[in-house]
Amino acid sequence: MKKIIDLMRVDLISVKGGNKGIFFLILAFTAIFVVIGMLSEALFMALSIVVLGVLLVPFITMAEKTHNAGKIFTVIPTDRKSIVISRFTLTTVIYTVFSVIIFIIFHIMEKFSDFHNNAISKDVRNLYETKNGFGTGIQIKALENSIFWFIFAVTLMIMAGQHRRYFKNGISSKKNSLLRSFLKILGGIALVYAVAAVIIFIFNIDILKPALIVLVNMIFALAAPMNGLLLSITLIFIGFGFTLYQLVCSVVDYEAREL
Amino acid sequence: MKRILRKTAAFFAAAVLTVCTQPFTAFADDEDDLKCPSSATVSSVISLLKKFDAYPDNIERSNKSSANVQLIFHGDEILYTRYYGCTNIEEHTLADENSVFEWGSISKTFVWVSIMQLWEQGKVDLETDIRTYLHDNFFEHLKYDDPITLMDIMNHKGGWCEKFYDSTSEDMAEMLSLEEALKNVEPAQTYRPGEVSSYSNWAAALAGLIVQRVSGMDYVDYVHKNIFEPLGMEHTSAGPDFTDNPWVREQRIKTICYEIELNNKYVESDDGLITEEIIEEYKSKGNCLFNDQIYPCGSITGTLGDLATYAQAFVNDDHPLFKNAETQEKLLSGSSFYGNTDIPSFSYGFDVKEYNYTRTFGHTGATFGCVANMEFDPVSKFGVVGLSNCRDDFPSSLCSYVFGRLKAKKYIGKNYEKFDLTPYSGYYSDTRTHAAGLGKFILYMDAFSIDNINAVKVADKVFLEYHSEDYYDDTIFGIVEHSDGRRGIVNSCSEYLEIKYYIPKLCLLAGFMICGIASLFILLAKRKLNKAGKATPLSFAHIITAGQFAKIVSLAAIISIVVIRIKGDNDGLTKTEGMVIGITQIVCMVLCVLALLASAYSFIAKKKLPYGKIRSLSCFTGNLITVSAMIFFEMYNFWCC
């Protein structure tokens, strides 16, 4: 355990010598989304955790690119498994703690902000109020909580994917890798849409519709009780489960890699 | 198109609100003019409806829409008939007096009338155990020994939820007899008879079989002789294949059924502005013939005129369907009531609907392609009937003109008080949903909390679900307490039953799903480690891996149940599908039990492996959750569901 904590310290020290611009970029984006959330729909705050999550891994590995700090891991007396575990733990802990803080602020803003309840949330609220009654299980608060933790889980999975790419291939030597990682995410989303469109085109939407309804039914059943806590736990479990899987794969890939 | 729909809807809504919210005097031009229960005069209602029919957009739309035919009557007089839309949009066949539609569950009222006819002849007793009228050992899935009476069945309190298996038949020539068909799809008895209201098509068809056995006549022949013929209903069929009335068959085949699809389209206006609009499009579903083998629950098919004739019989003082006036009075006197009030929730198989100033009796109906509505007020003798060949277009719009609405302010008075639902707080689920066997998990997916429902007090344990928006009618509910301590919320013959310990049960279901997803990750990680030659397998690794595969397959199996049901318009699974899924689940459960034992052995074994104890423990927990969920939710039980 001490070894892993020490390795996390190494990472934090190397971050200090990294590019300050990215740090301020993360800070600025986070602040913008938090302010937007405070002024309009509190759920916008969830975008700040996306910004942090997506930029955190490139930010921590940036020193390796700018100052060749990666070499340090080849000289310190440690095994590669510990390096992988420490890196995963560091980013996951920072991201989780930050997300929990944002979640708390999100709930405080929901209760106390006079600015809250603007056009978007009012529309959503109206929709649910008019449909409120027997047979409608999900409430707006449950929906908001579930959306927040869904965003958390997806971002956590993206982070785990970034880690694995890093441990498998090393840091990209190309310039603008941050921009590239963003574009890759966008490309990934486009690819998912394209594949979905092809599947729908080939197999006919009528076959997919029931499967989608089942999925939505299950999600709504889990989201309804305890203000969405059950669905949130499920989503968090999926996020951490995927991270654990990527951790195992990263250990294997990193140990097999020529440094 | 959207603009047309908006205008029409706005006109229609305005018309309804105008008629139903005006005081008596607004329409009382003539003191002697007949008034509807809604307080509006008949002449004003008809004049308004005729204006609506003459609306140019409405006439244009009628040629492109599915049929929605409705009729208002008073006693034996037809006041207004509206034939709107097409029975075949593609061929522009407009609906008319010869158009036939399926009446769906209105058919059940024919069973109830038959039962009451036999009761007044002294051939059946409503309080005797129905096993008296059936073959020995007819039932195979009874859970309770308590007697089940015809009264229980009429109140949908026989204890059966909706059948799980499909009872339709593609080839009507090979269809089973009514008795065989009923035995083939007998659902599990999940509630104690006489306690919980649980709408059951199967139980209604069973009552049809009792009519057949007691009368000594085929059910279809009985209905013809004792209902159709006395009323002169020549354009109605009761048989599942229409062989009892070839004219109806011929007409029914001409009727195409539709569903409404909402599509986004870009429309260019006259000034060149392109806007996105939601367009309603009618998608043909073909003939959609009702081919259920347990036909008494929904096979009646006929014209609007015949449906009106049938409904008029119940407001006729000459009681043409019964020998004694008392029988008709009893039929419409209520058989179950909200709390301790005299407000009936259900009346010998007939739905009871509360309005501000009146109370109606009747039934609604829906088949694979048609929907139907029948409502009448035996006091004022007004009635409305409607039929449609589009399931998304329920033909009840005229009811609010005639009967008015149900709003707390008018029903209780302006000083209504809030009803505190806190003592009844909890999770409830519709009793019609499956509560046993393969589909039991669906009950837990459909449950909902009542914490956010606005309720106003009508009487002790009776409340109105209150809508602040003027557009929505309020709904009356009663609270009942059952012998097992569970509470139910009743509206008509529907009941929402409390689920005790819902959260832990839902957690178990969620745990089952999480285990299935986690197994996928574990198998992928194992594959990676195996490829790299770094796997350090636990004891009996192959069994543990098989258990992980089993969890994924089991999750896929329960998802497939819902997919099959939704794809087939909720007809249910075929027996073969149920058996395949059930056997798959049994195999999966055996593998999970073996994996559970293997992981327990790994945990106590002295073999030193990296993270061995944690891996064994997590594997043990995952298998334990999966097996527990499979047992609790009866995922293996394909024979009694």
Cα radius of gyration (chain B): 28
Q: What percent of chain A has pLDDT over 70?
A: 71
The reply to whether B480 and B556 lie within a common domain is no
Distance from CA of A99 to the nearest CA of B (A): 22
* Confidence at B114, pLDDT banded by 50, 70, 90: very high
Task: Please provide the distance, in angstroms rounded to a whole number, between the alpha carbons at the two ends of chain B.
Answer: 46
Of B329, B347, B362, the one marking the end of a domain is: B362
Contact call for residues A56 and A95 (beta carbons, < 8 A): yes
Q: Does B567 touch chain A (CB under 8 A)?
A: yes
Could you tell me if residue B460 is inside a domain? yes
Query: What are the CB-based long-range contacts (under 8 Å, 24+) for B422-426?
Result: B424/B450, B424/B479, B424/B487, B424/B489, B424/B498, B425/B449, B425/B450, B425/B451, B426/B450, B426/B487, B426/B498, B426/B499, B426/B502
Are the beta carbons of B563 and A210 separated by less than 8 Å? Answer: yes
B472 → chain A, closest CA residue: A130
Pick from A214-223, A224-233, B358-367 the range whose average pLDDT is largest: B358-367
Distance from CA of B525 to the nearest CA of A (A): 6
* Confidence at B585, pLDDT banded by 50, 70, 90: very high
3-state secondary structure at position B428 = strand
The reply to whether B220 and B329 lie within a common domain is yes
The reply to whether B485 and B512 lie within a common domain is no
d(CA B309, CA B228): 10
The reply to whether B165 and B230 lie within a common domain is yes
Question: Does residue B162 have a pLDDT over 70?
Answer: yes
- What is the value of ipTM here, to two decimals? 0.74
Enumerate the β-bridge partners of residue B78: B73
Give the nearest partner residue to B562 out of A207, A217, A252, using CB atoms. Answer: A217
The reply to whether B345 and B419 lie within a common domain is no
Residue A40, class by beta-carbon neighbours within 10 Å (0-12 exposed, 13-18 middle, 19+ buried)?
middle
In this prediction the pTM is 0.83
> Which candidate in B449, B512, B564, B577 is best for mutational testing of the A interface (most A CBs within 10 A)?
B449
> Could you tell me how far CA A72 lies from the centroid of its own chain?
28
Q: Which domain holds residue B340?
A: 106-249+290-362
Q: Does B469 touch chain A (CB under 8 A)?
A: yes
pLDDT (tens digit per residue) in B218-237:
999 999 999 999 999 999 99
The reply to whether B422 and B508 lie within a common domain is no
Q: Does B528 touch chain A (CB under 8 A)?
A: yes
d(CA B315, CA A237): 62
Per this entry, what is the length of chain A?
A: 259
Q: Does B530 touch chain A (CB under 8 A)?
A: no
| Residue boundaries of the structural domains of chain A | 2-119+134-256
Q: How far is CA B191 from CA B43, B114, B194, B512, in A?
A: 49, 26, 9, 26
d(CA B567, CA B565): 5
Distance from CA of A243 to the nearest CA of B (A): 10
Could you tell me if residue B344 is inside a domain? yes
Split into its structural domains, chain B has a count of 3
Q: Does B513 touch chain A (CB under 8 A)?
A: yes
The reply to whether B427 and B565 lie within a common domain is no
- In B, which residues are within 8 Å of A128 by CB distance? none
pLDDT (tens digit per residue) in A89-101:
999 999 999 999 9
Of B454, B480, B498, the one marking the end of a domain is: B498
- In A, which residues are within 8 Å of B567 by CB distance? 206-207, 210
Residue B52, class by beta-carbon neighbours within 10 Å (0-12 exposed, 13-18 middle, 19+ buried)?
middle
β-pairing verdict for B344-347 and B336-337: antiparallel
B564 → chain A, closest CA residue: A210
Distance from CA of B147 to the nearest CA of A (A): 32
The reply to whether B168 and B196 lie within a common domain is yes
Please give the residue that has the higher pLDDT: either B264 or B179: B179
Give the nearest partner residue to B427 out of A139, A206, A225, using CB atoms. Answer: A225
d(CA B194, CA B152): 5
* Confidence at A204, pLDDT banded by 50, 70, 90: low
Question: Does residue A22 have a pLDDT over 80?
Answer: no
Q: Count CB-CB contacts under 10 A for residue A137.
A: 20
Could you tell me if residue B85 is inside a domain? no
d(CA B305, CA B398): 16
The reply to whether B120 and B180 lie within a common domain is yes
Determine the residue type at B189.
Q
Contact call for residues B594 and B543 (beta carbons, < 8 A): yes
Q: Does B446 touch chain A (CB under 8 A)?
A: yes
Q: How far is CA B334 from CA A4, B183, B456, in A?
A: 75, 31, 23
Cβ-Cβ pairs closer than 8 A, A with B, add up to 100
Could you tell me if residue B135 is inside a domain? yes
d(CA B490, CA B423): 16
- In B, which residues are within 8 Å of A233 by CB distance? 510
Are the beta carbons of B510 and A233 separated by less than 8 Å? Answer: yes
Could you tell me if residue B93 is inside a domain? no
The reply to whether B315 and B350 lie within a common domain is yes
B568 → chain A, closest CA residue: A210
Give the nearest partner residue to B567 out of A210, A222, A252, using CB atoms. Answer: A210
Are the beta carbons of A237 and B514 separated by less than 8 Å? Answer: yes
Give the DSSP letter of residue B165. B
Could you tell me if residue B80 is inside a domain? no
Are the beta carbons of A213 and B562 separated by less than 8 Å? Answer: yes
A243 → chain B, closest CA residue: B521
**Angle, to 10 degrees, between the axis of helix B612-632 and the axis of helix B502-531?**
140
> Could you tell me how far CA A9 lies from the centroid of its own chain?
23
* Confidence at B571, pLDDT banded by 50, 70, 90: confident
**What pLDDT sits at residue A139?**
67
Q: Which segments of B43-76 are extended strands (E)? A: 68-74
CA dihedral B446, B450, B453, B455 (to 10 degrees): 130
> Which candidate in B521, B522, B552, B570 is best for mutational testing of the A interface (most A CBs within 10 A)?
B521
The reply to whether B554 and B622 lie within a common domain is yes
Are the beta carbons of B503 and A225 separated by less than 8 Å? Answer: yes
Q: Does B260 touch chain A (CB under 8 A)?
A: no
The reply to whether B131 and B221 lie within a common domain is yes
pLDDT (tens digit per residue) in A30-88:
888 888 877 777 778 888 898 888 888 888 877 776 666 666 667 777 888 899 999 99
- In B, which residues are within 8 Å of A207 by CB distance? 567
Please give the residue that has the higher pLDDT: either A75 or B43: B43
Q: How far is CA B542 from CA A229, B538, B598, B602, in A?
A: 35, 9, 10, 13
